[in-house]
Structure 1
Amino acid sequence: KNGENTKPYHKAIVCKISMLSQSNNLFQALQASAKCEQISLAVYGDGSLEHANAIRASCQMKTQIGKLQESYQGLLNCYEMYKNKFGSEINPDSSSVLTSMAVIKTHLKEFEDAYNLIDKAKEIEQKATSKFSQQYML
């Protein structure tokens, strides 16, 4: 399909995922989020913010139904995609992705890894705060 023609369909799927997750129909939400991942990849391309966000939404559903390893791997991919897209790990999404990864690590009882991820998320937030405050001081 032509990418431009598929964008409205992509947006509709995103809305459907939101509604399904709010209605606690997590398995249907997971199916819809997997479809959204496929569509965002086809429409926006690998490495796009839309594709990273679709993967992240899918990971959220996977976490809720207990597919923790899959979710962790997907979030790791998101982290790398955001880092590549913004050219730095200091970006609007890195710290929240790392925090989600830390939550999964605690569920997997890998506490040391979880603490390391939380520390890294805090470090990124501090750098981001410092970076953005310097921009506004100029």
Structure 2
Amino acid sequence: MIDLKSIDLVPLTKELAVKFATMPGVPGERELKRERVAHFAALAREGTPFQLMWTTAIAKDTGEEYRFDGHHASYALSRLTEEEFPANWKVALRVFEIDSLAEDAVELLLRQPGGRKVAERHQAEGDRRRSGARSSRPREMPGVQRISRDH
């Protein structure tokens, strides 16, 4: 079961960016891309606003909070100096409550922008852990259409 607990528009602070950047991400979260982080950092230094909507989920079974969206932007912002950090910006924080990361993560991931790719990685990570295999190839998921960049 996935429940939306809150959506809040809050002031963006350095502390919030650091908290979000260092929060555990969902298993299978895409790796940070240097170019994407640099892009967000450059926009912030220039004072050019960009969309900030970060998502977390709290697993009822463990009480753990996981980052589901906002990794690149929060990491970029957390590394800015106090002088570079944007003033008077806001961030939309969405908090979901899930029964279990294992049971609900894929469904929640599919709701995120770019979520299909992340959901596939999450599924593959779980399969790999269960089987002990080292393959990173995502397994097919019912209801999820794989899209190739060649088409």
TM beyond 0.5: no
Q: Looking at secondary structure, tell me which structure has more strand per residue.
A: 2
TM-score for the superposition, normalised by structure 1: 0.35
TM-score for the superposition, normalised by structure 2: 0.33
